[in-house]
Chains A and B, each alone.
Chain A
Amino acid sequence: GAGVSQTPSNKVTEKGKYVELRCDPISGHTALYWYRQSLGQGPEFLIYFQGTGAADDSGLPNDRFFAVRPEGSVSTLKIQRTERGDSAVYLCASSLMAGNTEAFFGQGTRLTVV
């Protein structure tokens, strides 16, 4: 497809489990961003990649969260030892390059930790 694709759309997991969330950016977009949106709030920045490297991971809440983008395209957000407070919609966005003015968002992955 032409847009940013995120899988799965929904994920329910038990507290303490490990989850991976996947993002396929728009082809040719070198910058990729992860955000988290809790109920009633705006998206909150987690991390962004320019190419394969994490350029800014200042938004990751703690060391249970990790993201990779090994080939500069698909990215995976990994959450270890999930907690109920991790429940949120995780949004991915991509842009042509970092600092480019328009980022395109995927539909998000709704993560529920029970």
Chain B
Amino acid sequence: DQQVKQNSPSLSVQEGRISILNCDYTNSMFDYFLWYKKYPAEGPTFLISISSIKDKNEDGRFTVFLNKSAKHLSLHIVPSQPGDSAVYFCAASEMQNQGGKLIFGQGTELSVKP
């Protein structure tokens, strides 16, 4: 069973506009959520995270929103830049109970057009 789902395999956005990437999860025990960005032939790089005790975390152009009742989180990138074009993975963890083991979604490929 897929505990973390990213239902949009791809997203295309115009430069300067907002990119919204979505993620749903099923396990109510998850207490920490992360977004990773991946370029081809490279490993995933950490982007931003949020604890389950919060509903929003912001870092520069990147904001993550968490809706625990809906078991949904989203990553907003504004303004989007061509260099943001990459595959974005949502990941979740029972951080303390499971030692940092991450459960990943399938990824969303973001393309930002100049």
**Min CB–CB distance B50 → chain A (angstroms):** 10
Determine the residue in chain B with the shortest Cβ distance to A92: B43
Q: How large is the interface on A (under 10, 10 to 19, 20 to 34, 35 or more residues)?
A: 20 to 34
Closest chain-A Cβ to B44's Cβ sits at a distance in Å of 5
Interchain CB contact under 8 A, B89 and A42? yes
Q: Chain A's nearest CB lies how many Å from the CB of B51?
A: 8
Residues in B whose Cβ lies below 8 Å from that of A105: 36, 43-45
Q: Which residue of A lies closest to B39 (CB)?
A: A107
Q: Which of B9, B95, B107 contacts A101 (CB 8 A)?
A: B95
A108 on the B face (CB < 8 A): yes
In the assembled complex, the Cα of A107 lies from the Cα of B39 at a distance in Å of 10
Within 8 A of B (CB), among A2-48: 4, 31, 33, 35, 40-45, 48
Cα(A43)–Cα(B98), bound, Å: 17
Q: In the complex, what residue of chain A is closest to B36 when comparing beta carbons? A: A105
Say yes or no: A33-B106 contact (C-beta < 8 A), given A42-B89, A107-B43: no
The interface of chain B, by Cβ under 8 A from chain A, is 4, 6, 9, 32, 34, 36, 41-46, 49, 89, 91, 95-96, 98-107
List residues of A whose CB falls within 8 A of some B CB.
Answer: 4, 31, 33, 35, 40-45, 48, 50, 55-56, 59, 91, 93, 95, 98-108
The 10 closest A-B pairs by CB, nearest first: A42-B104, A105-B43, A98-B99, A107-B43, A43-B104, A105-B44, A106-B43, A42-B106, A99-B100, A99-B96
Beyond A42-B4, A42-B6, A56-B99, 14 extra complex contacts between A and B, CB < 8 Å = A31-B99, A40-B9, A42-B106, A43-B102, A43-B104, A48-B100, A56-B101, A91-B43, A95-B100, A98-B99, A99-B99, A99-B100, A107-B42, A107-B43
